[in-house]
Structure 1
Amino acid sequence: MEQYCKLAMMLLVLWAVSCHGQHVPDLTVGQLHSQVRELEGTVQQLLKLLDMQNLQTKSTKAATPAMEKRGFMYPGVSVYPSDVSTPVDEIGFHVSLTDDVRLDWGMKLPFDTIVENMGEAYNKAAAEFTCPISGTYLFSLNIACKKDSYVEVSVEINNGKSPPRYILNTVCDHRKRPLLGVSSLYCGNTQNGGTAIVSLAQDETVTVKKMWPVGGVSTIIGNGFSTFSGYLLRPS
């Protein structure tokens, strides 16, 4: 590249001399040297700009693989795993409960209103999310219960082989409390929830189940007050 620049500078000098020789025949040698020095300065500035551009290009090329390795998100399109060159479609869901439901111990919360289902990994009929690819996921749960109800629910992860894992436990308590030993009031946590980040393997299922109390029926409020969502943060 430097040789091409030197050649270009020589051509510029010859062009300047030729032009001055044709249009200004009485130009002195000193004036010609001055013009040559100006051209040399211009070429040097161009060379500096070229060096800066080369440095920026090298920096961009070095940064791109690092971004892909860290699994950077490309808004609205995809995420890049560290071991593949093609993007992975977004995976996520957000569902809610339409009607109030009465749950006994071990029953799933039948979230039946699908707000979002990117990747079609949430199955409304089974009330569960099946992990399509291994990776790190974020889950969020929010439940509300009716008066006189007390319920503990958990987000359960199951692979069908080993015992299930429980990554998020939530309590909703809307029972009466004694007040000064005379009357009682409804108080407590009538709506509760939380979030969790967890690593999942492909084909593991994620559901929300009632864990307590064992011997009683609890009423969960629908109408969009009870929700469940999950999103793929980064493939593994």
Structure 2
Amino acid sequence: MYINLHSSLKEIIMMLIGMLIGSLMLSCLDSLYIQNVQTFQYFGKSGTGKVIAAEKNAVAFSAILSKDITVGGKEVVKYDSVLTNVGGSYNKSTGIFTAPFKGIYTISCSLLSSTSKYVNLDIMKNGKKLSIVFSASGINPHSAQTLQLLLNKGDRVWIQNHSRIKAILHDHGSYNLFSGVLITQI
């Protein structure tokens, strides 16, 4: 009985930690966007948008999964629910962000996989793997990766399944996120 209680408590703690990390990451990204945004719209509980700031040549995008999806081997993840797309550089049909200006960008990816299988996602730039986001199997296996990248105008960045076999991604609380923001033009 002690082992089962201990195991359940551990699962609850892991779930709460995963929820906290996801919430903190989204909160930090929201703050960053507000500082460097052309026409950032904040979508609250009501779903209505309001303009928060305006800056020339600002770029910011944030997209999540609206439902559980299965991604084929080496397939690009298409984050279908776009929260922000200032500058229109993220294409939800392809899942690809194209840099409109040469500059330094922050690119982030968070991942929540199925509880039964681990998942590796690659952060890709122009066909080259830059980094891996790993989510282990188990209760609420959540992870995230953030990179600062020098991108040239026209460079393409996307997230893809690392494996040659399919992967299951969950939408639980918008944990699967792909986002980016232009920090400064060069």
The answer to whether the superposition gives a TM-score over 0.5 is yes
| Alpha-carbon distance between aligned partners in 2 of 1:107 and 1:77, rounded to the nearest angstrom | 35
SS of 2:93 mapped into structure 1:
coil
Matched, 1:219 2:159: no
1:165 CA displacement: 2.7
Matched, 1:210 2:161: yes
**Residues 168 and 195 of structure 1 are in contact (CA less than 8 Å); yes or no, is this contact kept in structure 2?**
no
| Alpha-carbon distance between aligned partners in 2 of 1:107 and 1:96, rounded to the nearest angstrom | 17
| Alpha-carbon distance between aligned partners in 1 of 2:106 and 2:115, rounded to the nearest angstrom | 31
Taking only the aligned residue pairs, the percentage that are identical comes to 19
Does the C-alpha gap of structure 1 residues 74 and 139 become closer, same or farther in structure 2, counting only changes over 3 Å? closer
- State the AA in 1 paired with 2:131: L
| Alpha-carbon distance between aligned partners in 2 of 1:138 and 1:74, rounded to the nearest angstrom | 12
1:233 CA displacement: 0.3
Q: What's the counterpart of residue 129 of structure 2?
A: 166
Unaligned segments of structure 1, at least 5 residues:
1-72, 79-87, 159-163, 175-185
| Alpha-carbon distance between aligned partners in 1 of 2:129 and 2:100, rounded to the nearest angstrom | 19
1:232 CA displacement: 0.2
1:104 CA displacement: 2.2
1:169 CA displacement: 1.1
| Alpha-carbon distance between aligned partners in 2 of 1:229 and 1:102, rounded to the nearest angstrom | 20
**Residues 152 and 211 of structure 1 are in contact (CA less than 8 Å); yes or no, is this contact kept in structure 2?**
yes
1:168 CA displacement: 2.7
TM-score for the superposition, normalised by structure 1: 0.54
> Which string of whole-angstrom CA distances, capped at 9 and with x for unpartnered residues, describes residues 111-167 of structure 1?
000100000111111111111111000011101011212211011111xxxxx3323
Q: What's the counterpart of residue 230 of structure 1?
A: 180
> Which string of whole-angstrom CA distances, capped at 9 and with x for unpartnered residues, describes residues 54-103 of structure 1?
xxxxxxxxxxxxxxxxxxx777333xxxxxxxxx3210100000111112
1:222 CA displacement: 1.7
1:110 CA displacement: 1.1
**Residues 154 and 211 of structure 1 are in contact (CA less than 8 Å); yes or no, is this contact kept in structure 2?**
yes
Q: What's the counterpart of residue 18 of structure 2?
A: none
Q: Runs ≥4 in structure 1, deviation > 6 angstroms?
A: none
Q: Which has the higher helix share?
A: 1
User: Which of these two proteins has the greater Rg computed from alpha carbons?
Assistant: 1
Does the C-alpha gap of structure 1 residues 155 and 74 become closer, same or farther in structure 2, counting only changes over 3 Å? closer
Q: What's the counterpart of residue 136 of structure 1?
A: 104
**Residues 77 and 89 of structure 1 are in contact (CA less than 8 Å); yes or no, is this contact kept in structure 2?**
no
Q: What's the counterpart of residue 181 of structure 1?
A: none
**Residues 102 and 217 of structure 1 are in contact (CA less than 8 Å); yes or no, is this contact kept in structure 2?**
yes
Please show how residues 9-158 of structure 1 align to structure 2 within 5 Å: 76-78=53-55, 88-158=56-126
Unaligned segments of structure 2, at least 5 residues:
1-34, 38-52
SS of 1:149 mapped into structure 2:
coil
**Residues 65 and 80 of structure 2 are in contact (CA less than 8 Å); yes or no, is this contact kept in structure 1?**
yes
| Alpha-carbon distance between aligned partners in 1 of 2:89 and 2:162, rounded to the nearest angstrom | 24
